[in-house]
A and B are shown apart, each in its own frame.
Chain A
Amino acid sequence: MNTFTAPEIDYVAIAPILIVAIAALLSVLTETFLPRSVRRPVQMILTLISLIGALIVLVINRDIRTITGGGAVAIDGPALVLMGTILILALLSAFLVAERSLDSLGDSFAPSAAALPGSVDEREFSARGYFQTEIWTLFLFAVLGMLAFVVANDLLFMFVALEVMSLPLYLMVGMARRRRLLSQEAALKYFVLGAFSSAFFIFGAGLVYGFAGSISLPEINDALASTAGETLLIVIGMAMLLVGLLFKVGAVPFHQWTPDVYQGAPTPITAFMGATVKVAAFGAMMRLLYVAFSGIQWDWEIILWAVSILSMIIGSLIALTQSDVKRMLAYSAIAQSGFILVGVVAASPSGISAVMFYLIAYGLVTVGTLAVISMVRDSTGEATHLSKWAGLGKKSPVLGAVMAVFMLSLAGIPLTSGFVIKFSVFAAGIAEGDTWLVIAAVVASIIAAFFYVRVIVVMFFSAPNENTASVAVPSIFTTITVAATVTATLVLGIIPQPMIDLLTNAGIFIR
């Protein structure tokens, strides 16, 4: 019997993750021991400081390339970039979570998510002016899971990270203050289907282990390289792992939770998960495919080809007939996953940097768009129906202009980041010979342009009427997020070269 030897752990290299982990634990203690009145400021400060601190440490660590934790954790260029992206997007979303000026009742979250909707308890909690503070704890754990997800270098750690990321998200989705039934239904759906997809993932991991005799990604690759014969077992295992990950990014046909969750979740949480889960899941997917399964590239390329085309076309098509802005964004997210997959399929250094650029720019636009949506309100809360946006651009030109920038970026119009990222993934695709895939992507972009531009048309070319929503005045929090995201969208669109250079220098996934 082997004796257990503790693995070497490079604490400096994983310091950003540790900081968030410690903050998450402190956050639990805060909920437990501090009085209700001080919890909110403490939680907020804890979250913001830990995210910023992690970001600072990450920048200091920028030159570290190592595999540590007994091979479970890989810190390489893409991992650093993706962690940084997650931290920045989480920080911008945290501002939205902190916002309390938009809703007359307070923030976006139910005072007590456990109280039945419409019950006496619920009214009681509202009347007492309670506020939800556990959301911060969940938020920090979700960020922790994401950070771990993109550095996970073996299947087991990857699965643990996946669950640490997902479980808090399921809860947060169900915490909306208004339209609580919708929110809870979405949470339940997300949870059940998420558990289902996790089952695929863990089953796939088992099959792969059965083939390779190891859960370490580099060792799986070695096992593939040294096996001359039948590889069906590992191919099936790989496909099931992919199903688990494709579910997380909302790719067709594993996408159907997306619209319900986007619509039901509190808008700050939609912004948070819409932006960061994609970064984490695509990061893990690329590591898994490039590090462990490069030997069967031909097999997973076929799957991703098909999923990519289906996601782009079906996402864009269904988005055409959506009348709810958040649902429309959900289908847009499905289509955008398809566009990102074009870069993943390319499987080249330029493809990796294109995908990372896509994730950064798309994440910023997503957070910004949902921040704008959280400001558009009528008497019943957020006014997400498109008919209530009629003439909004004339009523509030600044908000209209900002939303227009985001929509143009999503549609991929030049001078916004959306053009640059679409161009880079398409260019990477063409360079690797995926011309037909890119042609499909361009067709889907044309279809998608319609519903993005329609928002602009509705805002600026219809007259405001009595149904038109009003724009709530946000506090400094939402203002920072909107200003930062719109500036980044324009700057990345006009001078993308520094970012392209940075991502190109980040290099590839290490083994």
Chain B
Amino acid sequence: MTVMPAEGLFSLMWLLIALPLAGAAILLFTGRRSNAWGPYLGVLTVSASAVIGVLLLIEMMGLPTEERTITQVAYQWVFIGNFSVDLAFQLDQLSMVFILLITIVGSLIHIYSLGYMAHDPDKRKFFGYLNLFVAAMLLLVMANNYLLLYVGWEGVGVASYLLIGFWQQKRSAAAAAKKAFIINRVGDVGLSLAIMLMFVTFGSVTFSDVFGSATQASEGTLTAIGLLLLLAAAGKSAQFPLQAWLLDAMEGPTPVSALIHAATMVTAGVYLIARSNVIYNNAEIAAMAVIIVALITIFMGAIIGSAKDDIKKALAGSTMSQIGYMMLAVGLGPIGYVFAIFHLLTHGVFKAGLFLGAGSVMHGMNDNVNMRRYGALRSVMVITFITFMAGYLAIIGIPPFSGFWSKDEIIHAAFERGWFIGGAAVLAAGITGFYMTRMVAMTFFGKKRWETDAHPHESPAVMTIPLIILGLGSTFLGMALLFWGDIEAWLEPVVGYESEPTPLPTSAYIGITLAFVIVGSIIGWITYARREVPIEAPQGNWLTRAARKDLYGDAVNHALVVAPTNYAARALVWFDARIVDGFVNGSAAIVGGLSGRMRRTQSGFIRSYALSMVGGAVLVLLALVLVRI
């Protein structure tokens, strides 16, 4: 694979990042003055990036396959001894699809936010943070080395923190922001350790150098790097065991949940592993760990999604579960990378649509998120209902909606690896059918359970147009990418693709999957549409109760991390106060006491001063004479 220098249109690629970054800078530094026009500037910069992205795609499609990796070096960034890193961008097929996802979905969500945040007094700040996020995320996917990727990685982390806590006057939002940030730090440590290990092993952190010499490193080293990268990915993508922050992150404004915590940032972990495919291809244990983490998360997310009454948290559980599918696919190796990215793209679109739909519902229901107080909304919010249904059918995987194509490919690839993994993936697909049907049934069907002061209404056009576009995407994107875009051939040069024979024909797997999905959906429909939904949540069985508490994720974190840290901190405070301060204060007291005594030698009497001089001179002379003898 040759790396081409950026020429012609490609020399503009830095603008992709620079535009939203400049937007963020302007919005955040001009302060309240930009409240009036700031949001439009925010939309404009991201839309311009999206246009550039599309132009670059067209340009790239005109190039021969082997010339589609293009780098642009801005300048030499770090240069210490033999450690040298450029601030350089790499554009290839993989980063291209991410750029399009980030900028196009980002633009739609920016537009939607014009309506959603219209009455917020700090909206310019909101758009500034959103622009910052887009810039950081683009940096993440366009970096040509791990160190620059790390900058983007931290940048999205910061933006996510700022946006989750955007309504920081709410204690819960501030706490959720902190929680997200801190849990992400754990993953970030993994990434930084991985980068250091790469530098020690390969002497470089540039993608091309690392992947070029990966096979020369020992498998143990590669496994270590792979596991550390998995830790990083688990943090950013809310995978087990670092999943606990995502549900709380729903405290942020809904467009944030749609853009950052569903469509883009949380998929950065999948990007990281897909980008590092060479490492995982040579480290079987690390790849296996990815699969295990993915399977656990798929079920955790699905179970949590089945029990939550908060529409956003239910969707967040579903996000965890769907990203689990992507992680599963990247863990499968060359048979799965392509489909992981495929599912990532379709999911990015339909999940963004579902979140924005949820936001539209909340908008009409006085920001109430409790699905037990919804019901029968299909007739009052027609556009929201139809677009939501498109997303619903996409996520549960009904043909020909887009999720069907991508998820089906992953399940198929899972069966290529073995019955157990494939079976688990199918079972989880059935649960997906259940919880999504439950959500749709509780929200749009059944009887009205509205609060007395709720007057549900359809949202304004600025919000519904993005919904329609995303709804169309939920419907057609899968087919478009698979049949017209030929996603497999497009991504194959970057991540590799191979297919293995399976015992059953493809249609059999489709049939099995659909059967599970339909059974799950029917159970959901019977339980939540045909029967009365109580306004107060019933006690439920043990699994429901556990799922409502996020499967005790917080309790585990508290027992394993928070409590020991608190004890350690208290012990250190004691050590600091008693031992360290005792030593310091003790010596200070001694010095101060000496000072007080010596001060008395300054009597003010000239005779004693003169005596001291004579004494000093005598001592000097005596010393000199004594030394001689």
List A residues at the B interface (Cβ < 8 Å).
Answer: 188-189, 192-193, 196-197, 200, 232, 235-236, 239-240, 242-243, 247, 252-254, 256-257, 259-260, 299, 302-303, 306, 314, 317-322, 447, 450
Residue B627, interface by CB 8 Å: yes
**Is B609 a contact of A189 with CB atoms below 8 Å?**
yes
Taking A240-B617, A253-B615 as given, write out 14 further A-B residue pairs in contact, using a Cβ cutoff of 8 Å, ordered by the A residue number: A193-B613, A196-B610, A200-B613, A235-B628, A236-B625, A240-B621, A299-B624, A302-B624, A303-B623, A314-B598, A317-B594, A317-B598, A320-B595, A450-B588
**Is B606 a contact of A189 with CB atoms below 8 Å?**
yes
Contacts of A253 in B (CB 8 A): 612-613, 615-616, 619
CB distance from B529 to the nearest CB of A (A): 66
Partner of A254, one of B588, B594, B596, B613: B613
Residue B620, interface by CB 8 Å: yes
**Is B591 a contact of A320 with CB atoms below 8 Å?**
yes
Tell me the bound Cα distance from A314 to B606 in angstroms.
19
**Is B620 a contact of A303 with CB atoms below 8 Å?**
yes
**Is A447 a contact of B591 with CB atoms below 8 Å?**
yes
> Main SS of chain A's interface residues?
helix
**Is A232 a contact of B592 with CB atoms below 8 Å?**
no
List B residues at the A interface (Cβ < 8 Å).
Answer: 588, 591-592, 594-596, 598-599, 601-602, 604, 606, 608-610, 612-613, 615-617, 619-621, 623-625, 627-628
Q: How many A-B residue pairs have CB under 8 A?
A: 81
Tell me the bound Cα distance from A306 to B625 in angstroms.
15
Partner of A239, one of B596, B608, B621: B621
Closest CB pairs A-B (n = 3):
A253-B616, A256-B609, A320-B595
Contacts of B621 in A (CB 8 A): 236, 239-240
Tell me the bound Cα distance from A243 to B599 in angstroms.
23
Contacts of B606 in A (CB 8 A): 188-189, 192-193
**Is B623 a contact of A302 with CB atoms below 8 Å?**
yes
Contacts of B619 in A (CB 8 A): 253
Given A317-B594, A320-B592, does the pair A260, B624 have CB atoms closer than 8 Å?
Answer: no
Tell me the bound Cα distance from A469 to B591 in angstroms.
30
**Is A239 a contact of B617 with CB atoms below 8 Å?**
yes
Tell me the bound Cα distance from A188 to B601 in angstroms.
19
Tell me the bound Cα distance from A320 to B594 in angstroms.
10
Contacts of A240 in B (CB 8 A): 617, 621
**Is A254 a contact of B616 with CB atoms below 8 Å?**
yes
Tell me the bound Cα distance from A193 to B599 in angstroms.
20
In the complex formed, the residue of A with least CB distance to B598 is: A318
In the complex formed, the residue of A with least CB distance to B623 is: A302
CB distance from A173 to the nearest CB of B (A): 14
Contacts of B615 in A (CB 8 A): 253
Contacts of B625 in A (CB 8 A): 232, 236
CB distance from B566 to the nearest CB of A (A): 30
CB distance from B581 to the nearest CB of A (A): 15
Contacts of B588 in A (CB 8 A): 450
Tell me the bound Cα distance from A322 to B609 in angstroms.
19
Contacts of A317 in B (CB 8 A): 591, 594-595, 598
Tell me the bound Cα distance from A243 to B610 in angstroms.
12
Tell me the bound Cα distance from A122 to B626 in angstroms.
55
Contacts of A188 in B (CB 8 A): 606
CB distance from B542 to the nearest CB of A (A): 57
**Is A321 a contact of B596 with CB atoms below 8 Å?**
yes
**Is B602 a contact of A259 with CB atoms below 8 Å?**
yes
Given A239-B624, A303-B620, A318-B595, does the pair A192, B613 have CB atoms closer than 8 Å?
Answer: no
CB distance from B127 to the nearest CB of A (A): 36
Partner of A321, one of B592, B601, B613, B628: B592
Tell me the bound Cα distance from A450 to B602 in angstroms.
21
**Is A318 a contact of B602 with CB atoms below 8 Å?**
yes
Given A236-B624, A302-B623, A303-B620, does the pair A256, B612 have CB atoms closer than 8 Å?
Answer: yes
Tell me the bound Cα distance from A188 to B591 in angstroms.
33
23 pairs from A and B in contact (CB 8 Å cutoff): A188-B606, A193-B609, A196-B613, A232-B628, A239-B620, A239-B624, A240-B617, A243-B613, A243-B616, A243-B620, A253-B612, A253-B619, A254-B613, A254-B616, A299-B627, A302-B623, A302-B624, A303-B620, A306-B623, A317-B595, A318-B602, A321-B595, A322-B599
Tell me the bound Cα distance from A197 to B609 in angstroms.
12
Tell me the bound Cα distance from A321 to B589 in angstroms.
12
In the complex formed, the residue of B with least CB distance to A303 is: B620
CB distance from A453 to the nearest CB of B (A): 13
Tell me the bound Cα distance from A257 to B609 in angstroms.
7
**Is B620 a contact of A247 with CB atoms below 8 Å?**
no
Contacts of A243 in B (CB 8 A): 613, 616-617, 620
Tell me the bound Cα distance from A197 to B612 in angstroms.
12
CB distance from B23 to the nearest CB of A (A): 35
CB distance from B441 to the nearest CB of A (A): 63
Tell me the bound Cα distance from A197 to B610 in angstroms.
9
In the complex formed, the residue of A with least CB distance to B594 is: A317
Contacts of B595 in A (CB 8 A): 317-321
Tell me the bound Cα distance from A314 to B591 in angstroms.
11
In the complex formed, the residue of B with least CB distance to A240 is: B617
Contacts of B601 in A (CB 8 A): 256
- Residue in B588, B594, B617, B627 whose Cβ sees the most chain A Cβ within 10 Å: B617
Given A253-B612, A253-B616, A302-B623, does the pair A260, B604 have CB atoms closer than 8 Å?
Answer: yes
**Is B616 a contact of A256 with CB atoms below 8 Å?**
no
Tell me the bound Cα distance from A322 to B596 in angstroms.
9
Tell me the bound Cα distance from A71 to B625 in angstroms.
32
Tell me the bound Cα distance from A319 to B612 in angstroms.
19
In the complex formed, the residue of B with least CB distance to A251 is: B616
CB distance from B628 to the nearest CB of A (A): 6
Tell me the bound Cα distance from A104 to B583 in angstroms.
49
Contacts of B608 in A (CB 8 A): 256
In the complex formed, the residue of A with least CB distance to B592 is: A320
CB distance from B627 to the nearest CB of A (A): 7
Contacts of A302 in B (CB 8 A): 623-624, 627
Tell me the bound Cα distance from A259 to B609 in angstroms.
12
Tell me the bound Cα distance from A175 to B527 in angstroms.
101
Contacts of A299 in B (CB 8 A): 624, 627
In the complex formed, the residue of B with least CB distance to A231 is: B628
Contacts of A319 in B (CB 8 A): 595
In the complex formed, the residue of A with least CB distance to B614 is: A196
Tell me the bound Cα distance from A197 to B613 in angstroms.
8
Partner of A318, one of B599, B610, B617: B599
Tell me the bound Cα distance from A321 to B602 in angstroms.
12
Tell me the bound Cα distance from A287 to B217 in angstroms.
66
Contacts of B591 in A (CB 8 A): 317, 320, 447
Contacts of B624 in A (CB 8 A): 235-236, 239, 299, 302-303
Contacts of A447 in B (CB 8 A): 591
- Residue in B588, B599, B604 whose Cβ sees the most chain A Cβ within 10 Å: B599
Tell me the bound Cα distance from A192 to B606 in angstroms.
8
Contacts of A256 in B (CB 8 A): 601-602, 608-609, 612-613
Tell me the bound Cα distance from A108 to B619 in angstroms.
40
Tell me the bound Cα distance from A320 to B595 in angstroms.
6
Contacts of A236 in B (CB 8 A): 621, 624-625
Tell me the bound Cα distance from A252 to B592 in angstroms.
19
Partner of B610, one of A193, A235, A306, A321: A193
